[in-house]
Chains A and B, each alone.
Chain A
Amino acid sequence: MNVIQVLFWILSAMALVSALMVLLSKNPVHSVLWLVAVFFAISGHYILLNAQFIAIVNLIVYAGAIMVLFLFVIMLMNLNKDTEPQKNIWMKLAGAISAGCLLMILVSLIKQAPELQAKTAMMNEGGIGLIANLGKALFNTYVVPFEISSILFLSAMVGAVVIGKKD
């Protein structure tokens, strides 16, 4: 058990607990704040995997901008307690059972996977996550997906104007 493994377990526990709290907290604003905690924990994981660029982008874009957007959406809604719909207990049970089955299958398969046995984080191994290398890959091999992604942004802009603009 070296430092990296200790960090890995701490971050994993943080991510899981925060993710659970996202679901369990009654107040949606608290959920969003827990989600920010999840993103911080996952950024920690990225750093352990030597994917520094993604770690920073995750913090800037996800924990920063997109979470603000989530908060906006929550504030667009009516947050009074009495408007909260009552959920059917059977629905919850059915959801828990089906999601539990999926979890069981995923865990058992990943436990069997020879590729993944006894692997946690590999600090300082593989340089592809460093900004310089990532930029080289992005602007050479992956330049077509990169340009195509701007179509996605264009349609998102048009969509935002269509949906959000008062007319």
Chain B
Amino acid sequence: MTGLYTLLQINQLNNTAENYFPIGVQIIFAIGFVATMIGLSALVGPKRKTSDKLENFSSGIASHGNARQPMAVKYFLIAILFVLFDVEVIFFYPYAVNFKFLGWAGFWEIVLFVVLFLIGFIYIIKKGALQWED
């Protein structure tokens, strides 16, 4: 536990862009690994491109219809509300970091912000926008 604590402190003292180097390495490694695996399997694996092989598998039943059906709007409503609250949460992060520094003034500022969001949330609930209707 103390080890972790010192690690955190080091990070705070020395908050530079170089700290993101491991993340960059990880991203490159992840992409590289996946690309290599897919590439290898495509390269090494056997290929028999017959018409039966390329057909979509659907439990032996011939597939019919089109996969690209328009989706219902209700998914979109949930998604857009999610984005709104997602953005709200993002604003909490800089507040949380400065929690002590900002003191009560900051607290009331964030309370006002949350209250406005809460009003929106109550409105959404009351309107039944989150109800999964058909």
Contact = CB atoms under 8 A, between A and B. Distances in A.
Contacts of B112: 147, 150
Interface string A63-76: 01110110011011
Contacts of A135: 93-95, 97-98, 102
A48 B86 contact: no
A140 B76 CA distance: 35
Contacts of B119: 154
Interface stretch (B2-10, B43-51, B55-63, B122-130): B122-130
B15 A52 contact: yes
Interface stretch (A15-23, A77-85, A90-98, A102-110): A77-85
A131 B101 CA distance: 13
A61 B90 contact: yes
Contacts of B29: none
B20 A52 contact: yes
Contacts of B73: 76, 164, 166
Contacts of B109: 139, 143, 146-147
The 7 closest A-B pairs by CB, nearest first: A135-B94, A164-B77, A135-B98, A150-B116, A79-B68, A157-B120, A75-B71
A42 B127 CA distance: 38
Contacts of B1: none
For chain A, the bracket of interface size reads 35 or more
B38 interface: no
B33 interface: no
Nearest to B123: A157
Nearest to B24: A44
Interface of A is mostly: helix
A153 B87 contact: yes
A167 B87 CA distance: 28
A73 B90 CA distance: 23
Nearest to A138: B94
B16 A154 contact: no
A150 B113 contact: yes
A156 interface: yes
Given A48-B17, A150-B116, A131 B68 contact: no
B130 to A, nearest CB: 10
Interface in B35-85: 66, 68, 70-71, 73-77, 79-84
Given A132-B98, A147-B109, A165 B77 contact: yes
A134 B24 CA distance: 23
22 contacts: A44-B24, A60-B86, A65-B83, A78-B70, A79-B68, A123-B16, A136-B102, A139-B98, A139-B102, A139-B105, A139-B109, A139-B110, A147-B109, A147-B113, A147-B116, A157-B84, A157-B120, A158-B120, A160-B81, A161-B127, A164-B129, A165-B128
